[in-house]
Amino acid sequence: MSFPITPVLIGLGSGMIGTLATIFLSPRLQHHFWKRQRFAELRLAVAQEVNQHAANFYIVHVKNDSYELSARFLTALEETEGKVKVLFSDEAFQSYKKMQRLIAATGGRAKGLGPQGVATAYDFLSARDAALAKLYEEAVGRQIRQQPS
């Protein structure tokens, strides 16, 4: 009785090839998906940072009708701008800039909010909602429904 060697060699060869493919491809695939996950986490953190700045501005300045902005707040806003520019699309960045211009112009009272400004709290809330909807949409990868302010 003879033993068929060809099926055994094919089985061993395919087993070795499968093992080697797993050894070499698995870490690369894991790294690829890890980078994508980390990028999404960074985007989400920046979107939350923008939301925090907007809420801070609205509660501290708009609600209290006090439009003198601290250097610390303006610095934080500028730092966030860089993150939005690098991590998000140009459309999302422009949406953020529209909101930021209403905030930053307020400090100088040039077309911002406040007694000498021409914009209203509603203008700010609309710009905030549009910016956050776009940022969160890109961060989580799905359409965000915008509610009227």
Please say whether the beta carbons of 74 and 29 come within 8 A: no
Residue pLDDT, tens place only, 42-72 = 999 999 999 999 999 989 888 887 777 888 9
Give dist(CA 72, CA 74) in Å, integer.
Answer: 6
CA–CA distance, 43 with 138 (Å, rounded to integer) = 8
Are the C-beta atoms of 50 and 131 separated by less than 8 Å?
A: yes
pLDDT, one tens digit per residue, over 111-141 is 566 656 677 888 889 999 999 999 999 998 7
pTM of this structure: 0.73
More confident residue, 142 or 102: 102
DSSP summary character for residue 110: S
The token pair at 136 is 């969160």
Copy the structure tokens of residue 34: 């890890």
Token code pair at residue 15: 């087993």
| Main-chain phi, psi angles of 76, to 5 degrees | -60, -40
Domain ranges of the chain: 39-140
pLDDT tens, residue by residue, 86-116: 999 999 999 999 998 888 765 554 456 665 6
Query: Can you count the helices (H) and strands (E) in the chain?
Result: 4, 0
